[in-house]
Chains A and B, each alone.
Chain A
Amino acid sequence: MNEKEQTEKRLVMAFPEPKPQVPQLPQHLLRTINCQQGAVRAVRFNVDGNYFLSCGSDKSLKLWSASRGTLLKTYSGHGYEVLDADSSFDNSLICSCSSDKTVILWDVASGQVTRKLRGHAGKVNCVQFNEEATVTLSGSIDGTVRCWDNRSRKSEPIQILDEARDSVSSLKVVQHELLTGSVDGRVRRYDLRMGQLHVDFIDSPITCVCFSQDGQCTLSSSLDSVVRLLDKSTGEMLGEYKGHKMKGYKLDCCLSSRDTHVLSCSEDGHVYCWDLVEGSLSLKLPVGKAVVQSLSFHPSQTRLLTAMEGRVQVWSAEPEETEDDAPLS
């Protein structure tokens, strides 16, 4: 953070911060985990960030300890590569989706398939629990988002959101809002409380969408190699982040845990990290030579997971000692 911003901050803030915290970036590689499950399609922290899930192209889903990097459990049951996964707030359930057109709910402890949700007509790109894990939402290449009821054993979804005109590539749920990004170049936000659908036209196929932590903005990355920060309520663009390369692959983007930075995967083997306000590139994290496919930011700490090919790498702000801190959080 430069001086200009800090002065600005001082102006805005009514009271001075006791210790002006320098935003730290996860630039030190803590460890590299070889997942042994083919290409890792997605890597996801759990709710508290102590564990993470890796979705492999060899049909398996693996649960790891984030602090130690040890494999805790392997969940196998998908018929094709696993594309996305999410864990419930209480860590009791995991949902995962796959190219085999199914969404599977797993019992975390036993590793058994709790439910297998069939209905999508194509591969399922993204899956997400709602906040209370009462509903599983899955977005598929068939252009629909299906809302599955976790409370009942009904095999049919509660509702099918078929507004997208192309594959639904990304999906996020926060509270009563559902954000979807589609290849038709639109970010759709379903507001359940208001009963409204807001469509933001981005034009280029969307690869990933995110809510900001404060819930006021949406972040969307698209295949024109631009990450855009839009105001949630009006749809205006607040920031535009460029420099990375995202032209063909479905790569992730995210916001840091305190909304200070925007991070995005890139096809050139780096993770790009921009200052949210300035829009300037603050870190270009070299991950490897291949495409960085997925990333996940720790919900509270400055810690980042990146997935490239078959490896998951854990990045942290401090070189080594954070490793000891991890269990404390």
Chain B
Amino acid sequence: MASDGGGEEDFVTYGTPLEPLEEDEPLRKPVPLHEQTVKDEKGRYQRFHGAFTGGFSAGYFNTVGSKEGWTPSTFVSSRQQKADQHLARPEDFMDEEVCGGLSEGGGAKAGGAADGVSVSGLRRARHRPPQITTSREFSSGRRDEAADKARAVGAQAALIPGDLLLEEIITPARSSIGVELLRRMGWREGQGVGPRVKRKARRPQTDDRARVYGCAPPPAGSEEDEEEEEEFAPENVTYAPKDVTPMDFTPKSGLQGLGYRGLDPGLALQGSGAAQHIELFDPQGGARSRLFGDSQGRLRRGGVAGQGFGVGALEDDDEDIYHRDSMSRYDTVLEGEEPGDGLYGWTAPQQYTNKTGRSRDAAYLGKILEGFTLAQSPLEDKEPRPSSSDAVFHAAGGAGGLEGRRPPPQTFRPFEKTPSKQARYDLYLGRLRQGDTDALEQSLDPAMTEWERSRERDEFVRASILYRPASTSLSSRFTRAEHQDDEDTVEVARDQEGDMDDKQAAVKMKMFGKMTRESFEWHPDKLLCKRFNVPDPYPGSGLVGLPKVKRDKFSVFNFLTVTESRQPTAPPKPPDSGKKSRWDVSESKEEAEKKKEDLSEPRGTAKNHAEMEPEPEPEPEPSASETRMEDQDGSAKGDEEEEEEEEQEEQEEEEEEEEEEESRPPMDLFKAIFASSSEEKSSSSEAESNDEEEAADQRDGEEPQNLFSISTGASSSAPPPAPPPASQPSGSSQTKEEEEEVFGPKLPPPSAAVYTGGAAAPRQEDKRKRKRSKEKKPKKSKHKKEKKKKKQKKKKGKQKKSRKESERESSSEDSDPDPDLSADLLLKRLKSIRSQQNR
């Protein structure tokens, strides 16, 4: 990497680089799952038992334990064997492979240990070769310089100079991987760890040190130097954080007590060796400071200091015969952290806490949570809370009191009608935000009369309380609607399928044909016709698929299908932009027109209106194609509708939450339901009810089938709204069968016999395959569970249906076609087939 060029030399690389990708290298296929096999040393397939349950080497033929099975170990008295009792080692619980690997590695380690591992380690290594240790690659090869330095200091301070050198020979000179990493990142020994800081932030630290570490005298000339340096220090230069002294755990040697220091040979020439301040962790602090090049002459007096000698001839007093400690040399107060990186924590530093006024706001920006401002005084707290319900919203806002949330760019403008007033209000809000105590007074127009002002004061205060917190807290919860709510129409298929019950009855009686056949006008795509080499059956029609009409969105019968058709699964786009499918409900022009209409009308009337009025049917109707079933009699329609309503109600409960969020009051919906059902009943009893309604009813007779015939499209995963037929031809067993089948027929399971094909190791292969097939099973059962759940939902509807079925048996009978006639037809058909087949 370094050879790449000058630019990259600055970077530090970690790890081993990946091999460069070759452009024209063919894509290597990943090894398929069933080829990822593991064999043992004898070439037998190893079965994987799971990472935590044995890996590749669990048990006896996929079991736990041995040939005899798994038996817990029984208690055996070892009283007699106390002598040759051995402790269980980790290796006793390890697999052979692991042990083997260890012993190999251990050998390597033993070789490597010769150069660095401590004596005891060596001894242990000889004793027990496989041992888990930090491998050499993770221990730094370099020696710890700081430790060396510290050791050198210690050696100087020791009774016999150079004593520690002996120790050094036998102690491992390794630094941890963490140190190594840090070093690679540019860290140097003795340097503080953390983000780099500016000069300014660093300076107080040195002051601190001068004060706290009494025994290490502040560098004489360095302060001035620093002062100077600061002048020249460029702004963009950062420095490493405060240096730290590495701790050196020098083993205690000798019989002296803690804190004992022998005569310091270095001090002997310098004078006073009395430490002003004890650093607990650094007994050799003085020596080190010397070593680090501090100026020593200032505090030291000449003479030998330390313990062990009496008062010398050159010394004034013997105050230091025994080392005396006093509390004055310790810090008694926990002092605040130094400013450090310039960012403050949760509490403000002193220079801010005693400051007042607006400047704080600005100065403090960025150090407190975004979106919050500091308030100064709870000036508005005595304001009466408007009402309990409002208080809920204001709780977070704090009514401009202690800490108010900064509102988003003013969406609510209460005094928009009078711009000047609004401007004053904005000013007031702004000042309030900044914590002005007299925000209100300042923002009012002094030219106004006292009465006007007091009134405006009231207004502003109220407005700020009422609207601001509410607007923020609520707006965060709601998103803007993408469509206007007064789009009251949806597109539904114009031709609806006929009664299910009739058809089921027909199927039951094997009366296929008229009863079960329905034909619709269907518009193939122009391109599809072209590809199929057939002329477009509806040239010029922009439609694709089944013709659709607009229906009232909140019509009872459309309601279900509306929500359903909005399911997010893959809304297919129509191939041509001009054509529309039923998915893009809101984009059509007709929609827009409808919207306009509805806007012009009051809501409630618009809805009822739309329900009553014939829907606009925009598409041209080729008469030939209109082959809708005519044999639906009124009674069938009625029943059907009732059914729909029941289902409707059922589903409504599920959709209540959705409804609640809609601006339209749910009452309308219920009204619509019950109104139409009462109509339904009355229409059967009182025929003299107005004609218009009857006409509407007839149209509605088509509408309910929306439930069934709006195809769920891509949303087949949801149960279709129509419950499955109550009257199954083959009885209850069939329904039970179906309970597992919502998605339809499944695929037969691949059995073990599948895999018997000539493999090199058929037995092993088999085993693995069987396992695979086992694995597949849970998937399926899970699937089934889902299905069952859905089925349960469906059941409700089914029960209802069957009840209905019994009610209406009589009505369906009269609609049956003549059986003789169809038999004739059948015969005819058969004959024609036979003739064709003999041709």
Q: Which residues of A come within 8 Å of B, CB atoms?
A: 8-9, 12-13, 17, 34, 36, 38-39, 41, 57-58, 81, 83, 119-122, 130, 132, 134-135, 141-144, 146-147, 149, 151, 154, 156-167, 169, 175-176, 182-185, 190-205, 207, 212, 214, 216-217, 223-225, 228, 230-231, 234-240, 247-251, 258-260, 267, 276-277, 289-291, 293, 309-311
Contacts and interface: CB of A to CB of B under 8 A. Distances in A.
Contacts of B749: 39
Contact of B517 (A17, A200, A216): A200
Contacts of B546: 163, 197
B503 A203 contact: yes
B524 interface: yes
Given A161-B545, A309-B751, A130 B711 contact: no
B497 A199 contact: yes
A158 B745 contact: no
Choose among B514, B518, B745 the residue with the greatest number of A CB atoms under 10 Å from its CB.
B745
B351 interface: no
B829 A121 contact: no
A1 B101 CA distance: 76
B757 A159 contact: no
Contact of A248 (B518, B521, B746, B755): B746
A142 B729 contact: no
Contact of B545 (A12, A159, A228, A260): A159
Interface string B727-747: 011100010011011111111
B833 A163 contact: no
Interface stretch (B107-115, B256-264, B605-613, B713-721): B713-721
B781 interface: no
B825 interface: yes
A194 B826 CA distance: 25
B532 A162 contact: no
Nearest to A191: B522
Contact of A258 (B504, B537, B572, B837): B837
Contacts of B466: none
DSSP majority for the A interface? loop
A309 B512 contact: no
A149 B826 CA distance: 39
Interface of B: 34, 497, 503-504, 506-507, 510, 512-514, 516-525, 527-529, 531-538, 544-546, 569-570, 572-573, 575, 581, 625, 627, 708-709, 711-717, 720, 722, 725, 728-730, 734, 737-738, 740-751, 753-758, 822, 825-826, 829-838
A228 B513 CA distance: 12
B725 to A, nearest CB: 6
Given A157-B575, A238-B826, A149 B751 contact: no
B575 A156 contact: yes
B838 A250 contact: no
Contacts of A249: 745-748
A141 B716 contact: yes
A154 to B, nearest CB: 8
Given A197-B522, A201-B507, 6 more contacts: A12-B831, A41-B747, A57-B747, A158-B531, A195-B536, A195-B537
A38 B755 CA distance: 7
Contacts of B826: 236-238
Rank and list the top 4 A-B pairs by shortest CB-CB distance, nearest first: A195-B537, A39-B750, A183-B744, A235-B517
B745 to A, nearest CB: 3
| Most B C-beta atoms less than 10 A away, residue of A83, A144, A191, A201 | A201
B830 A277 contact: yes
- Which of A132, A147, A190 gathers the greatest number of chain B CB atoms within 10 Å? A147
A225 B720 CA distance: 23
Given A159-B525, A202-B507, A248-B737, A149 B744 contact: no
A260 B837 CA distance: 7
A259 B742 CA distance: 33
Nearest to B753: A309
Contacts of A134: 531-532
Contacts of A277: 830, 833-834, 837
Contacts of A251: 745, 748
B516 A200 contact: yes
Contacts of A198: 517-520
Contacts of B746: 248-250
Contacts of B758: 34
A290 B744 CA distance: 20
B743 A183 contact: yes
B512 A237 contact: yes
Contacts of B743: 141, 166-167, 183
Contacts of A192: 524, 528-529, 532, 534, 537
Given A158-B525, A249-B747, A144 B713 contact: yes
B512 A236 contact: yes
B575 A158 contact: yes
Contacts of B825: 234, 236
Nearest to A10: B838
23 contacts: A13-B835, A39-B754, A57-B747, A81-B747, A130-B532, A134-B532, A143-B711, A143-B713, A149-B531, A156-B572, A158-B528, A166-B716, A167-B716, A184-B720, A203-B728, A216-B832, A217-B833, A223-B744, A231-B513, A247-B737, A250-B746, A258-B837, A311-B754
A119 B713 CA distance: 13
Contacts of B497: 199
A192 to B, nearest CB: 5
A228 B753 contact: no
Given A248-B740, A276-B833, A156 B510 contact: no
Given A36-B757, A159-B545, A162-B711, A169 B745 contact: yes
B516 A160 contact: no
Given A9-B838, A260-B837, A237 B513 contact: yes
Contacts of A149: 527, 531
Contact of B534 (A176, A234, A248): A176
B829 A238 contact: yes
Given A166-B720, A195-B625, A235-B513, A259 B522 contact: no
A144 to B, nearest CB: 6
B834 A132 contact: no
Nearest to B749: A39
A167 B569 CA distance: 14
A319 B754 CA distance: 25
Given A119-B570, A158-B531, A195 B523 contact: yes
A39 to B, nearest CB: 3
Contacts of A228: 512
A267 to B, nearest CB: 8
A157 B753 CA distance: 40
Nearest to A23: B837
Contact of B510 (A143, A207, A237): A237
Contacts of A120: 570
A214 B838 CA distance: 12
Contacts of B514: 234-235
Contacts of B536: 195
A2 B776 CA distance: 48
Contacts of B738: 205, 223
B757 A162 contact: no
B783 to A, nearest CB: 12
A223 B627 CA distance: 30
B682 to A, nearest CB: 32
Contacts of A204: 728-729, 734
Given A197-B520, A197-B522, A142 B569 contact: yes
B833 A259 contact: yes
Nearest to A288: B753
Contacts of A290: 748, 751, 753
Contact of A162 (B513, B572, B744, B745): B572
Contact of A224 (B709, B729, B755, B836): B729
A240 B748 contact: no
A197 B519 contact: yes
Contacts of A207: 744-745
Contacts of A223: 737-738, 741, 744-745
